[in-house]
Structure 1
Amino acid sequence: MALINSLVSWFNTKRLSQIDFFKNHPIETQMETLTQLIDQASNTEWGKKYNFKNIHSLAEFQERLPITTYESVEGYIDRLRKGEQNILWPSEIKWFAKSSGTTNSKSKFIPVSKEAMEDCHFRGGKDILTLYTSLFPETGILKGKGLTLGGSHQINNLSNESYYGDLSAILIQNLPFWADFIRTPDTSIVLLEEWEEKLNKMTEATLNENVTSLSGVPSWYLVLLKHVLKVSGRKSIHDIWPNLELFVHGGVCFDPYRDQFNSLLPTDKMNYMETYNASEGFFGIQDDLDDKSMLLMLDYGIYYEFIPLENVNDENPKVISIEEVELYKNYAIIITTNGGLWRYQIGDTVQFTSLKPYKFKISGRTKLFINAFGEEIIIDNAEKAMQVACSKTNAVLKDYMGAPIFMGDNRKGAHQWLIEFEKAPDNIDEFTFVLDNALMSVNSDYEAKRYKSITLVKPQVTIAKPGLFYQWLKEKGKLGGQNKVPRLSNNRSLIDELLEKNK
């Protein structure tokens, strides 16, 4: 084991020096990335349309290319899916990451080029190992296998030459052959499309493996781990996998699930490492496990721009590059990538917690919020308030959704929270009171609207019956993988649908 760790340390030395370089020279790294992207795509249809060969500065790039969304480039992507090439990116594109449609019921198919796969997503996976082993040189993580809970893929029905599926499944399908020796279960099981069949087969295949790490979405891992315990008859996951030491998580905020993981994995040897790996690219890794922020990975073939959240709906929004961002301000992310996305608004918002180096936290979605009365509640506000409410009322959260209650003839506005608890609070009125006050403490606009109940009255909390959100996702064909419950909605369509099922 000492020999393996020494070899890993030797291989890591070069990569750690590269990471140190972009941490110390972020602006130069980003400008080099942008120059390379423009040069590589200059002879594509998109490059010719916007005359990439005559772009010589950031100002020209920003003036010439518009901000894009999926809807604005969907026609180009549809052509790629039918087999056309050299449209948005020069290399062949035959894989498409199907989004879970968090903010839109319509599926999105994000092109994944060879460069995006190898220089972005796979490099991100390697960097997780690099950063973790540098933090824990005596780790035993390489002594066993990593358990990956991915999605599924299937042949695109528009062309036999193109394929789509969850990003995790695409990456698993394209891993080198030797990866099978360090992960579990077998690819045929990981890529099963039917969630409940996959759950049973994953459990059976991994019970007797030496699992040292997990990676995936926390909410779905809770389902898997509880199923593993039920089938095995054990009380703790470490009774099954005694050498388990790391959970690499992403997709949803981990804080609401932390207590449940601590209950399932009651040991101080367990480490939790957050990553930000979306269909559009791999963006961040937690490089200090005592700091909940993530390091922005600046040399993955992605150029970053940002729109202040207050300007995101403007006709010509203010767009800034990384050297202009400020601490603790909400920004919508704009990316230009080696997968052929150009000044693409992905829909996520972040706050920077450090500028030397650039570290950030995910704060929400540009389309997942409640702002029916000018209160501007974002996911970060809701997650923090839920955490406080659960902590002070000894409750354990499972899932939730928030939406406005609109004003009526004799009714003021309010928020309604439909919450499924793993462990319900002893007093729901106390929980509601704490939640309300916590929201006021983290959001001054909400506090102003709640002042003397002039605009908003206290929120309504409705307890969801066990399994409500799971059953709702199942009916929509969204079990497992990267699918998740939309936490916030600015209208009542989703919450009313769920409330009808909750009767």
Structure 2
Amino acid sequence: MASIKAILAKPFAKRVAKQIKKWSSHPIETQEKVFQKLIADAVGTAFGKDHDFISVNNHEDFVKRVPIRDYEALKSYIERVVDGEEDVLWKGKPIYFAKTSGTTSGAKYIPITKDSMPSHVKAARNAILMYINETGNTRFVDGKMIFLQGSPILKEQKGIQLGRLSGIVAHYVPKYLQKNRLPSWETNCIEDWETKVDAIVEETLPENMTIISGIPSWVQMYFEKLIEKTDKKVGDIFKNFNLFIFGGVNYEPYRAKFENLIGRKVDSIELYPASEGFFAFQDKQNEKGMLLQLNSGIFYEFVEAEHFFEDNPQRITLKDVKVGINYVMIISTNAGLWAYNIGDTVQFTSTSPYRVIVSGRIKHFISAFGEHVIGKEVEQAMNEAIQSSEVSINEFTVAPQINPEEGLPYHEWFVEFENEPKDFVTFTNVIDQSLQAQNSYYKDLIDGKVLRPLKITKVKNEGFKNYMKSIGKLGGQNKIPRLSNDRKIADELYNKGLVK
């Protein structure tokens, strides 16, 4: 018999789905309201005064006054906030800083305010409620759920709490879920990732786990330790596990591996959270892409990725985007980020409603020869190769080889196989042909004998895990870049003896 919690979940889900339909059916008006409120609320801030917000009435005014900035360009304002100054980027002071590791700037301090915090929590909840409303499945609400995340221990700096986003969000688990939630506070506070996963295995083994969530590569590590301990598939250990929630990377390259580890198919929900905001979640099981959150205190602008590095590239709003174009996403938020480049590229899969997929990072591409290959293209190529053979992989990354010892330059694919293809030549050809079909620049370079077809280099078992451990980025929200325009990762894999 269904519990009271399971019975009440359905009408609650229906009500939330109705609210979401209301704003997603009026996307342009919704975004305009968000824009006007952001400007009005920040007029009196230091940033608002410096950029003449009092004269901003529309998007054109905003573009004239506020240039696109990344963290480095906004740093002088953020440092004032970190030093305890009020009313700098947003009214008052932030309640948190989400600390992230930047590539060029060392640690980044991303402000989270009283106004922005609720959307971080609500969006994840709404993703589950939309799933309930669509499928009618509430079986999981009475079981235990786990989110593999960073430590919830926060430090204080000038009266502002500081920690990882996932650790901050851990403080906002609703009361009605707290009894269901694992790992325990003590286990969650373990800093060393491998020790933590071992403790999570011990803690969850005897439980009725129904929801498991986290970045796929780190959930995979948890699953493998469960199997090692019990010699059973995850789906046999947790018979009622039927919902996997993930974000941070494309799940497709992992899907075959996960189905093998679990031993059966389970439903999944994709999320698009970041320290800067919770941007989208999967609202339909059979639709490609995630519903862009238009009513969450975030105003979106988009710049075509191929023009992004030009002087003054055109900044468009939602009404002018097109399906299938690769855009750099620019955000302005009620946490005080203005025309801010988070570094992600997205493509729209639908404009009614507005759904996106994350196609890569504007800094993560290969264009050593002008080919501008992006994350989505290498993932799709790998996925096609996996589907055409009985292969599963743990992880992969791609780098250019500009100066080979002999022959033409090429793209080098570093792949950690779970089980290898029977026919390596065919497997490699499927990837290369898919990449040529998707990217005409790459095809032209192959046809013109500037590049030769790609080469696969096998990575040893647990090679990527050992690489991440060696650079102090094992676990949590860290992930391997899908591709790089240099050979930093490639050289490290060779130097540390992690390739076969």
Offset from partner CA, 1:88-133 (integer Å, 9 cap, x none): 11143142222344x5583322111122211x11110221121011
Does structure 1 retain, via aligned residues, the 8 Å contact 2:385–2:430?
yes
**Partner Cα separation in structure 2 for residue 387 and residue 226 of structure 1:** 22
In the superposition, relative to structure 1, how do residues 199 and 227 fare at CA in structure 2: closer, same or farther (>3 Å)? same
Shift of 1:246: 0.5
Shift of 1:23: 1.8
1:199 aligned residue (189, 197, 200)? 197
For structure 1, list consecutive stretches of 5 or more residues without a partner in the other structure: none
**Partner Cα separation in structure 1 for residue 152 and residue 98 of structure 2:** 9
Instruction: Give the letter for the 2:440 counterpart.
Output: S
Offset from partner CA, 1:10-47 (integer Å, 9 cap, x none): 32333222211122100000000111111112211111
Offset from partner CA, 1:395-451 (integer Å, 9 cap, x none): 211111211111579743211111111112223333222221121122122111111
For residues 40-59 of structure 1, what are the structure 2 equivalents within 5 Å? Answer: 40-59=41-60
Worse-superposed segment, 468-477 or 162-171: 162-171
Instruction: Give the letter for the 2:148 counterpart.
Output: L
Query: What's the TM-score, normalizing by structure 2?
Result: 0.95
Query: Are 2:491 and 1:492 equivalent residues in the alignment?
Result: no
**Alignment partner of 1:30: what SS?**
helix
**Partner Cα separation in structure 1 for residue 418 and residue 115 of structure 2:** 42
Q: Which residue does the alignment assign to 2:454?
A: 459
**Alignment partner of 1:277: what SS?**
strand
Q: Which residue does the alignment assign to 2:471?
A: 476
**Partner Cα separation in structure 1 for residue 21 and residue 261 of structure 2:** 36
Query: What's the TM-score, normalizing by structure 1?
Result: 0.94
For residues 152-163 of structure 1, what are the structure 2 equivalents within 5 Å? Answer: 152=151, 155-156=154-155, 159=157, 161-163=159-161
Query: Are 2:94 and 1:96 equivalent residues in the alignment?
Result: no
Does structure 1 retain, via aligned residues, the 8 Å contact 2:396–2:416?
yes
Q: Which residue does the alignment assign to 1:180?
A: 178
Q: Which residue does the alignment assign to 1:125?
A: 124
Does structure 1 retain, via aligned residues, the 8 Å contact 2:210–2:238?
yes
**Alignment partner of 1:486: what SS?**
coil
Q: Which residue does the alignment assign to 1:256?
A: 253
Q: Which residue does the alignment assign to 1:267?
A: 264
In the superposition, relative to structure 1, how do residues 368 and 215 fare at CA in structure 2: closer, same or farther (>3 Å)? same
Q: What is the count of residue pairs matched by the alignment?
A: 497
Query: Are 2:285 and 1:289 equivalent residues in the alignment?
Result: yes
Q: Which residue does the alignment assign to 1:135?
A: 134
Query: Are 2:168 and 1:170 equivalent residues in the alignment?
Result: yes
Instruction: Give the letter for the 2:225 counterpart.
Output: H
Q: Which residue does the alignment assign to 1:111?
A: 111
**Alignment partner of 1:320: what SS?**
coil
Q: Which residue does the alignment assign to 2:237?
A: 240
Q: Which residue does the alignment assign to 1:21?
A: 22
In the superposition, relative to structure 1, how do residues 33 and 156 fare at CA in structure 2: closer, same or farther (>3 Å)? same
In the superposition, relative to structure 1, how do residues 123 and 399 fare at CA in structure 2: closer, same or farther (>3 Å)? same
Does structure 1 retain, via aligned residues, the 8 Å contact 2:291–2:355?
yes
**Partner Cα separation in structure 2 for residue 241 and residue 261 of structure 1:** 14
Q: Which residue does the alignment assign to 1:333?
A: 329
Offset from partner CA, 1:41-78 (integer Å, 9 cap, x none): 22111112112223222211121111111001122222
Shift of 1:499: 1.5
Q: Which residue does the alignment assign to 2:211?
A: 213
Shift of 1:301: 0.8
Shift of 1:234: 4.0
Instruction: Give the letter for the 1:483 counterpart.
Output: N
**Partner Cα separation in structure 1 for residue 370 and residue 111 of structure 2:** 36
Instruction: Give the letter for the 1:303 counterpart.
Output: F
In the superposition, relative to structure 1, how do residues 138 and 256 fare at CA in structure 2: closer, same or farther (>3 Å)? closer
Shift of 1:465: 1.2
**Alignment partner of 1:305: what SS?**
strand
Does structure 2 retain, via aligned residues, the 8 Å contact 1:153–1:163?
no
For residues 424-463 of structure 1, what are the structure 2 equivalents within 5 Å? Answer: 424-451=420-447, 454-463=449-458
**Partner Cα separation in structure 2 for residue 426 and residue 107 of structure 1:** 44
In the superposition, relative to structure 1, how do residues 9 and 392 fare at CA in structure 2: closer, same or farther (>3 Å)? closer
Instruction: Give the letter for the 2:114 counterpart.
Output: K
**Partner Cα separation in structure 2 for residue 85 and residue 473 of structure 1:** 38
Instruction: Give the letter for the 1:146 counterpart.
Output: M
**Partner Cα separation in structure 1 for residue 168 and residue 32 of structure 2:** 29
Instruction: Give the letter for the 1:12 counterpart.
Output: A
RMSD value, Cα: 2.0
In the superposition, relative to structure 1, how do residues 426 and 34 fare at CA in structure 2: closer, same or farther (>3 Å)? same
For residues 379-418 of structure 1, what are the structure 2 equivalents within 5 Å? Answer: 379-406=375-402, 411-418=407-414
**Partner Cα separation in structure 1 for residue 90 and residue 132 of structure 2:** 35
For residues 139-150 of structure 1, what are the structure 2 equivalents within 5 Å? Answer: 139-150=138-149
**Partner Cα separation in structure 1 for residue 277 and residue 468 of structure 2:** 25
Instruction: Give the letter for the 1:140 counterpart.
Output: R
Could you tell me the percent identity over the aligned residues? 37
In the superposition, relative to structure 1, how do residues 409 and 245 fare at CA in structure 2: closer, same or farther (>3 Å)? closer
Instruction: Give the letter for the 2:252 counterpart.
Output: D
**Partner Cα separation in structure 1 for residue 420 and residue 133 of structure 2:** 40
Does structure 1 retain, via aligned residues, the 8 Å contact 2:148–2:219?
yes
For residues 301-320 of structure 1, what are the structure 2 equivalents within 5 Å? Answer: 301-320=297-316
For structure 2, list consecutive stretches of 5 or more residues without a partner in the other structure: none
Shift of 1:2: 5.8
**Partner Cα separation in structure 1 for residue 396 and residue 104 of structure 2:** 18
**Alignment partner of 1:276: what SS?**
strand
**Partner Cα separation in structure 2 for residue 330 and residue 14 of structure 1:** 34
Worse-superposed segment, 201-210 or 361-370: 201-210
